[in-house]
A and B are shown apart, each in its own frame.
Chain A
Amino acid sequence: MIPATFDYVRPGSLDEACQALASDEDAKALAGGQSLLPLLRLRLAYPSTLVDLGRLPELTGVHDRGDHVFIGAMTTHDEVMRSSLVNSACPLVALTTATVADPAVRHRGTFGGSLAHADPAADLPAVVLALDGVLVARSAEGEREIPAAEFFVDYLESALRPGEILLGARIPKLGDGWGYHYEKFHRTAQAWPIVGVAAAVRRSNGSIQEARIGLTNMGPTPLRARAVESALQGAELGDQVRQACEQAAEGTSPSGDLHAQPDYRRHLARVLTHRAIRTAAGSP
């Protein structure tokens, strides 16, 4: 279908972009358009104005900031997964991004758009949550930082206020000794996960010292599998890890849809968490 009419502005500076968004509450930011344009084509959204962030170079790129990496909101999925800095300092982001959509969508879709859209089925929110990322937003009033744990508020709803632009996210570097994996379950090649599990594991001498686990599509927002994280502390690879992962669905509230009923999603969360932890810990 052809989208309904809207106005279009392409600001040349961040200040202009903030003003354009602040002056009209029905205006929307346009990043890669890979979620927004399908919504407009299906006439599920009717913004008055699209504020195109596509020509603001200050929003793109990946920067080494010592203890963390800053990924600009308008950096495309393709750029993120190819970045040597992201691959070395936060591999979980790189390897998860490589599972998002398909090459053509990754050429347009952006890191920030994936977070701002706050879709519980999107892969990157669970990763940023598991890594305790911090999102940075800017409005006419100035900049503010939002921890990932507070950013995802509800289904398709983030903590961004009207008029705020996401500048990017800080991803803490975890340092040596960590292993990573993103376990994504989907039935067709280029697809959203039915359930996804992001895992980072620090391991020594055959047992797990620390684990961080983010769940995709197990509720209206991405979730941490906190019960599993604490049960894994000091767990030995093998039965102890398997038992710990049995708690993966605790505190979740998955929805039922065309692809899966809630009980099936809970089952998947347990199975996929176990797979993700085993792979991240490097044990077959």
Chain B
Amino acid sequence: MPRITVTVDGVGYEEEVEPRLLLVHLLRERLGKTGTPVGCDTSNCGACTVMLDGKTVKSCSVLAVQADGCDIVTIEGLGSPGSMHPMQRAFHEEHALQCGYCTPGMVMAAIDLLRDTPDPSEEAIREGLEGNLCRCTGYCNIVRAVRRGAQEMGQAVKSS
């Protein structure tokens, strides 16, 4: 079986994996990172979105062996209940979730969007999140949360 090394949320792991093991299953079932859910079978929903070497990917559509040598950040690596990432806090404060299933992926996609577009318009947010489906909220509060998260992250940059 192939042996891979990955860094997940800042911790290094060395794992023997079957080639068919999906990255999301490595994260959830081997490493206990259940913050990243699986929402579909067709690579559509984006619930499983994580950062792979700094860019979003759908972790259900990447093999664990393809991530060999890579740096992965999941929703669990962003912050913790006591010290949330500004984007996590913005989702909380703007009520941008109901069941919460899409939230980890939405937050990762939102942070990815801000890499290029630190102050996104509503339209840019809707386009940036087009690969993430939410069955509960109707998206309005998600868009608001991303605007607020962007402002708070921008202020954090200015004041640092």
Interface on A for B, CB 8 Å cutoff?
1-8, 10, 30, 33-34, 37-38, 40-42, 50, 52, 54, 78, 101-105, 107-108, 189-190
Contact = CB atoms under 8 A, between A and B. Distances in A.
A125 B130 CA distance: 23
Interface residues of B, number: 33
Contacts of A5: 18-20
A263 B119 CA distance: 44
Given A2-B20, A41-B41, A8 B65 contact: yes
A104 B46 contact: yes
- Prevailing SS type, chain B contact patch: mixed
A33 B61 CA distance: 7
A220 B93 CA distance: 49
Contact of A38 (B2, B61, B63, B126): B61
Contact of B130 (A7, A108, A189): A189
B57 interface: yes
Contacts of B65: 8, 10, 52
B131 A104 contact: yes
B19 A50 contact: yes
B113 interface: yes
B55 A102 contact: no
A39 to B, nearest CB: 10
Contacts of A37: 22, 43, 60-63
Interface string B40-54: 011110100100100
B71 interface: no
Contact of B61 (A7, A34, A52, A78): A34
B2 A103 contact: no
Interface in B109-133: 109, 112-113, 126-128, 130-132
